[in-house]
Amino acid sequence: MLSADEKKRLERGFAEGEASQRLEGLELGEPYWTIKSRVLDGEITLEQGLEEIAISVRSRTSVVA
């Protein structure tokens, strides 16, 4: 379980990343919101969440020849 301070720190970090994405004109898909929720609920670590997000992005952007 995350401490209140750790959860606040993560929430600030997520908010900054989301703002950056919006400034770039990018949309965050449903996998992101689900993974973010799991991190903030303490189900998975931030590192695990980042890896899941990376996998999700790669699977959406890969092109089959």
What is the residue whose two structure tokens read 């965050």? 28
Q: What is the pLDDT of residue 61?
A: 75
* Backbone angle region of 25, left / alpha / beta, with phi > 0 → left and psi within -120 to 50 → alpha: left
Q: Which domain holds residue 32?
A: 4-61
Tell me how many domains the chain contains: 1
Q: What is the mean pLDDT of residues 4-8?
A: 97
- Of 47 and 62, the structure prediction assigns the larger pLDDT to 47
The pLDDT tens digits for 7-61 are 999 999 999 999 999 999 999 999 999 999 999 999 999 999 999 999 988 887 7
The pTM of the full predicted model, rounded to 2 decimals, is 0.85
